[in-house]
Structure 1
């Protein structure tokens, strides 16, 4: 089953969120410190991913053009409006918590969707019917969702939907991708997409710590730009590709 890994990933996010809500009476100072700790860890993970780039110019171009596209279409605003719409349908947190469903949905979605494990794991599911990586990612996401849910609310649970759509689409597409994309081009895309996504992860971590207010969602089109730039680089052999 091609979507097995993706569905397990989403299920673990849901379970983690429910557990997190049951533990929501954790003292505020503890929640804040834990959130800072997660933010620091997310930042380090992002840095590690960012250093995986072999051609950092591709990353810069992708981020710049991705930011232009994202700001032009106001992707961050649309995601937040969608989250607020969901909030209006579901209702606010019963105890008047100041963290909205919208914030939980957007923040958790960005954390769970961006990253090398999502793409590589989905490709493994589609190309080799190997779900191990997505299951490992699901365990990490589930643990993270426990902590996020204690601070960001039930909106974290809703992030399971874009996880299924995003990873499921890649997995289904991957069943056919090897017939159209050469291995070298695919390897280069994964490498540079990982680095580009890593920088976005750094931004998320800094936002969680409270040092910045970067509209990270508006950087997401950079992933598509990576694909376009890699295609151009491969077609015209602008860099020496690994054999």
Structure 2
């Protein structure tokens, strides 16, 4: 039973609803400052997991090549287009009266939190662990942060934030049910490299949230697919040659 995934999705929906309903009561300065804090939290989570890295060349190679693949196939633009569809669909039923954000700022922020909620190393790893061992603690911990993050972003974006729970559930359920095939093939080193790779995405997401640098976080997602095979290849074939 994917309890952790259900809790995580509900936290986004509840946070999105609360933020959309009461967001107008919060001052712009409060929302801006708290968003900066969430950005720093994302950076801190990224830095902490990057520290688990065991095979640096494999992780760096995966991040660089994975991002190159994402840019080549215009993954970020496709996700951006999907976010636009989500916004238009929900806009037919729920109007977002917030006019503080320009269209570009709105879409940029929406893509940022889609990656934050759906493609973080913590969420992907937590889904795999949940499916393999039934341990939902990682996803439940993520849900606490997602609840408040969704509420704050919904203050500016409106109810569309709730819709992010849909792609998140789809992605996490695929990983959950595939875990029985994936997890037995992994090693502790591969898991740590996987977390470290996700940490780079979390760090880049933090930079986007504080509007310091607009990293192509959506285009970096293929790195999460490459890292485990690359870590395995490095340890079993490359490392014996260079050592």
Structure 2 residue aligned with 1:148: 153
Structure 2 residue aligned with 1:31: 31
- Does residue 168 (structure 1) correspond to residue 173 (structure 2)? The answer is yes
In the TM superposition, 1:84-123 aligns within 5 A as 84-91=84-91, 93-98=96-101, 102-123=107-128
Structure 1 residue aligned with 2:73: 73
In the TM superposition, 1:1-243 aligns within 5 A as 1=1, 3-25=2-24, 26-91=26-91, 93-98=96-101, 102-178=107-183, 181=185, 185-236=186-237, 238=239
Task: Give, in whole Å, the separation in 1 of the partners of 2:146 and 2:238.
Answer: 38
Cα displacement (A) at 1:97: 4.1
So what's the TM-score if we normalise by structure 2?
0.87
CA deviation map 1:13-69 (0-9, x unaligned): 101111111221111111111111111221122111111101211121011101110
Task: Give, in whole Å, the separation in 2 of the partners of 1:62 and 1:75.
Answer: 16
Cα displacement (A) at 1:234: 4.6
Task: Give, in whole Å, the separation in 1 of the partners of 2:122 and 2:208.
Answer: 22
What is the Cα-based RMSD across aligned positions, in Å? 2.2
Cα displacement (A) at 1:178: 4.6
Q: Is the 8 A contact 1:20 1:146 kept in 2?
A: yes
Task: Give, in whole Å, the separation in 2 of the partners of 1:190 and 1:120.
Answer: 8
CA deviation map 1:86-125 (0-9, x unaligned): 2223326234342666445422221123334323322232
| Higher mean displacement: 84-93 or 209-218 | 84-93
Q: Is the 8 A contact 1:83 1:103 kept in 2?
A: no
Cα displacement (A) at 1:176: 3.4
So what's the TM-score if we normalise by structure 1?
0.87
Cα gap change, 1:108 to 1:178, in 2 (>3 Å): closer
Secondary structure, in 3 states, of the residue corresponding to 1:31?
helix
CA deviation map 1:137-160 (0-9, x unaligned): 222211221122223433321221
Gaps of 5+ in 1: none
Cα gap change, 1:149 to 1:177, in 2 (>3 Å): same
Bigger fraction of residues in helix: 2
Cα gap change, 1:115 to 1:86, in 2 (>3 Å): closer
